[in-house]
């Protein structure tokens, strides 16, 4: 067949596409056809085709991710992976690996690996390139961060408590709460916020104590954390009863029961005394024992003084509860009161018979076996209160002095006591210890009489006279508590006196003390006739304390000539004395040592 010659082939595909059977159809001169036959090998190339390369692929953080990209072509393509338009460098990051099936493996995929990956197929022999973009999403398993893993609450006080878990993850996890495998939902007892991260338990009770489970869940998985709730209970006394006992006849045990968490300690108190757990009195009469939430106080030998209010106090770290019980003690009468009572003829005296008894006692007075009052004792009266019986006796003669009997009786027993009515005497003489004269006043210091005569001293009588004279002047002074000195005023300055004193009670005036002389006094009521000598000082702050001429005087000082004289160095000082009652002020002039005069 030469160049330019036309040939026509009739081809028939035989078998697969790579073998084609062709016949040569030649047209000859008279229109007859001449046929020839040959086999030609024809190759057909397939373009790049992505058969399985999902455009969105999701993985869980930490897993080995297998990014799928299945590509076919003829001949097979070369696969190139790109991340954020940059070719993946397998040598630089060993986490990346191209698998034999052309998939891209990322070992331990991270959230930061998320993004768009390009799967690119290349056939360099014919310059064919094709690619597909795969968006990779990395889901993160939930993580939980309890704000507190353990909480404390107090029961029965209307308190609410909040348990909180903050959840992280992708997609955003759903948070739920459970207790004892039961999911908690919003109701009268529980309240949940919008995202479920906060659980509020209302009106906390002891039964709410325990573990609560916080659960966070998303596509990547589920995470649980437990939060413990400790519920404490304030102490509450649940049993305490009043008791009754008889003196010395029986043992009595007081019992106090209390609840609370932590377990409360129980303390007993009576008046100002407190009995602690395990305490025992020195005489062994009081024993305190405690066991768990029960405490007992045992009185082995009950006495009337044990009667009264007992307090039981239960205390723990949350609070305390205190309740009172009353112990009633029945006992026979006990008579109190002063045995001896002093008076004098014509002066009424009260003999007090104070009776302690439970139940209350009846009281009867006797004189020489005869019940009072009687027809023969018109000078006797009886006055009574619930606890004291007063026998008022107005002695008319010596026969009315002597013994009187008080007898008290109740259902438990009886007691009698003798009281003595004694004739009072006048007090003994006080003793003068010192006499200190100050101008027109003298301070008399004394010791009270050794004997008061049986009745209180009401007054002291002071007598004085000028030495070498016979006439005495007297003045009485009412007795005051703690009285040890008497101030005698109206004396003449620079005059020597002799003084004596006596004590007076209801019976009368006692003997006088021995006369005591006094030295002449100095006058402070008028201007001085001469200057006194004091310590040298030009600064008033350096002056020594000035002792008043009499204790009722108040003293002060200033420089003679005013402030200017003081600053210039005063040669004399004016001492002011003022009596508080009269507010009258007297000034005395003093010269420092070393000045003229």
What's residue 592's pLDDT?
46
Instruction: Tell me what pLDDT residue 234 has.
Output: 93
Instruction: In whole angstroms, give the CA distance from residue 194 to residue 204.
Output: 22
Which backbone phi and psi does 472 adopt, to 5 degrees?
Answer: -100, 140
B/e letters for 460-482, b = 16+ CB within 10 Å, e = fewer, are bbbbbbeeeeeeeeeeebeeeee
Which domains does the chain show, CATH number per domain?
8-41 (no CATH), 49-140 (2.60.40.10), 147-233 (2.60.40.10), 241-331 (2.60.40.10), 337-423 (2.60.40.10), 431-518 (2.60.40.10), 532-592 (no CATH)
Are 78 and 97 within 8 A, CB to CB?
Answer: no
On whether the pTM is more than 0.85, the answer is no
Q: Cα–Cα distance between 461 and 471 in angstroms, integer?
A: 16
Q: Which residues contact 154 (CB under 8 A, 6 or more apart)?
A: 204, 231, 232, 233, 234, 318
Residue 157 vs residues 10, 204, 232, 261, 413: alpha-carbon distances, Å = 105, 8, 11, 14, 52
Tokens 């200057």 sit at which residue? 531
The total of other beta-carbon atoms located within 10 Å of residue 280's CB is 13
Which among 202, 205, 209 is positioned nearest to 234, based on CA atoms? Answer: 205
**pLDDT at position 563, please?**
46
Which pLDDT does position 533 carry in this prediction?
36
List average pLDDT for each run of 10 residues in the chain, which is 597 residues long.
51 51 52 60 83 96 96 93 93 92 95 95 92 96 95 91 95 95 94 94 95 95 96 95 88 94 92 77 78 90 91 93 96 91 92 94 92 83 92 92 95 94 93 88 92 92 91 93 90 89 92 83 45 38 44 50 45 48 46 40
Cα–Cα distance measured from residue 220 to residue 456, given in angstroms and rounded to the nearest whole number: 102
C-alpha to C-alpha distance for 303 and 29, rounded to whole angstroms: 162
Closest CA to 476 of 463, 464, 485, 489: 463
| Counts for the chain of helices (H) and strands (E), in that order | 1, 48
Decide if 48 contacts 128 (C-beta within 8 A).
yes
């Amino acid at each position: 067949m030469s160049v330019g010659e036309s040939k026509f082939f009739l081809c028939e595909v035989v078998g697969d596409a790579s073998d084609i059977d062709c016949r040569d159809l030649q047209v000859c001169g008279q229109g007859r056809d001449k046929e020839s036959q040959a086999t030609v090998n024809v190759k057909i190339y397939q373009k790049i085709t992505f058969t399985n390369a999902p455009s969105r692929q999701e993985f869980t953080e930490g897993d080995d991710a297998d990014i799928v990209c299945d590509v076919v072509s003829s001949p097979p393509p070369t696969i190139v992976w790109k991340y954020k338009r940059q070719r993946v460098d397998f040598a630089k990051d060993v986490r990346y690996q191209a698998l034999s099936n052309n998939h891209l493996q990322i070992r331990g995929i991270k959230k930061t690996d998320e993004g768009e990956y390009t799967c690119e197929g290349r056939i360099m022999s014919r310059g064919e390139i094709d690619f597909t973009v795969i968006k990779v999403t990395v889901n993160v398993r939930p993580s939980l961060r309890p704000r507190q893993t353990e909480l404390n609450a107090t029961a029965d006080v209307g308190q609410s408590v909040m348990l909180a878990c903050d959840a992280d993850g992708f997609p955003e996890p759903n948070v739920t709460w459970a207790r004892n495998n039961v999911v908690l939902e919003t109701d009268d007892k529980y309240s949940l916020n919008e995202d479920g991260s906060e659980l509020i338990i209302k009106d906390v009770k002891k039964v709410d104590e325990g573990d609560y489970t916080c659960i966070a869940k998303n596509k990547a998985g589920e995470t649980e954390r437990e939060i413990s709730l400790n519920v404490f209970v304030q102490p509450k006394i649940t049993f305490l009863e009043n008791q009754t006992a008889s003196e010395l006849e029986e043992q009595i045990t007081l019992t106090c029961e209390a609840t609370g968490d932590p377990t409360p300690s129980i303390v007993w108190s009576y008046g100002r005394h407190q009995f602690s757990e395990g305490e025992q009195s020195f005489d062994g009469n009081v024993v305190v024992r405690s066991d768990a939430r029960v405490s007992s106080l045992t009185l082995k030998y009950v006495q009337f003084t044990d009667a009264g209010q007992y307090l039981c106090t239960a205390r723990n770290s949350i609070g305390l509860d205190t309740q009172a019980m009353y112990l009633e003690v029945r006992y026979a009468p006990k008579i109190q009161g002063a045995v001896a009572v002093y008076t004098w003829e014509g002066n009424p005296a009260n003999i007090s018979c104070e009776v302690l008894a439970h139940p209350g006692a009846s009281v009867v007075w006797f004189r020489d076996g005869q019940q009072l009052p009687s027809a023969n004792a018109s000078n006797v009266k009886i006055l009574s209160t619930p606890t004291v019986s007063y026998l008022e006796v107005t002695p008319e003669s010596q026969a009315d002095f002597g013994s009187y009997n008080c007898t008290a009786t109740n259902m438990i027993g009886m007691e009698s006591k003798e009281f003595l009515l004694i004739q009072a005497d006048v007090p003994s003489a006080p003793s003068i210890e010192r006499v200190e004269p100050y101008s027109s006043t003298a301070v008399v210091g004394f010791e009270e009489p050794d004997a008061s005569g049986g009745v209180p001293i009401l007054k002291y009588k002071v007598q004085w006279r000028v030495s070498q004279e016979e006439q005495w002047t007297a003045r009485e002074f009412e007795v005051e508590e703690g009285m040890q000195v008497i101030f005698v005023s109206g004396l003449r300055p620079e005059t020597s006196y002799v003084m004596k004193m006596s004590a007076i009670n209801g019976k009368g005036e006692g003997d006088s003390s021995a006369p005591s002389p006094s030295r002449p006094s100095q006058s402070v009521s008028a201007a001085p006739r001469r200057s006194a000598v004091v310590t040298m000082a030009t600064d008033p702050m350096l002056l020594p304390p000035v002792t008043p001429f009499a204790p009722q005087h108040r003293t002060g000082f200033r420089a003679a000539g005013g402030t200017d004289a003081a600053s210039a160095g005063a040669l004399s000082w004016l001492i002011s004395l003022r009596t508080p009652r009269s507010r009258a002020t007297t000034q005395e002039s003093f010269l420092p040592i070393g000045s003229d005069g």
